[in-house]
Amino acid sequence: MDGPDLNPQQRQRAREVIGPRLDLLRRTALALTRNEHDADDLVQEALAKAIRAIDSFAEGTDEKAWLLTILRRAHIDRLRAAGRRVSAVSLDADSGVDVADPAANDPASSAGRHDDQWHDPEAMMQQFADADVITALRDLPPDICWTLLLVDVEGLDHEQAAAVLGIPRGTVKSRTHRGRAMLRDRLHALGRRMGWFKPEP
């Protein structure tokens, strides 16, 4: 947590705020990048930004949300630098219309089409290996993936997740609901192969 331009007080503050949450940053970065090397690079970039901004961290601020906001911005910067398109919804507050997931705004969207077979979603979700869930999570649209990472993986409440993502709390709530249905759909085929769900008619 040492930076060349930090005074002893800043170094101590960085250790207290950032040090205990390195695993959080690495776990989230790995879920986003799908590659250990890229995840390490992203974490290093986020750490450098956080250390430089340590004086802006106000007492009483949620450390987890503050660091995840920095990680998210670093991830967006890396995507832009690589020439990849970043949807406006990923960057700005939205009106609830998710351009990253056009089907989500279609009344005929099929998300949740197998939900009648998920009799106890929480218990059934526990049957899947973490790697299977992460793989399915990565296949979701980026904004849905980010929302579920924050809410379901890292345990942020809707208010905290909204602050990280820069969107209304209601949008977080709707994305979480929709994202869970989409995640269940992606895991359904695997569960059916494992015999946990009845075959399709």
* 46 burial via Cβ count (<10 Å: 0-12, 13-18, 19+): buried
Class of domain 8-81: mainly alpha
Portions of the chain given CATH number 1.10.1740.10: 8-81
Mean pLDDT of the chain: 79
pTM above 0.85, yes or no: no
The answer to whether residues 103 and 60 touch, using CB atoms and an 8 Å cutoff, is no
Please tell me the predicted confidence (pLDDT) of residue 100.
Answer: 41
Tokens of 173: 């709530």
| Region 106-119 average pLDDT | 56
Please tell me the predicted confidence (pLDDT) of residue 85.
Answer: 55
Identify the CATH number of the domain defined by range 88-193.
1.10.10.10
Portions of the chain given CATH number 1.10.10.10: 88-193
Rounded to the nearest angstrom, the gap between the alpha carbon of residue 135 and the centroid of all alpha carbons in its chain is 13
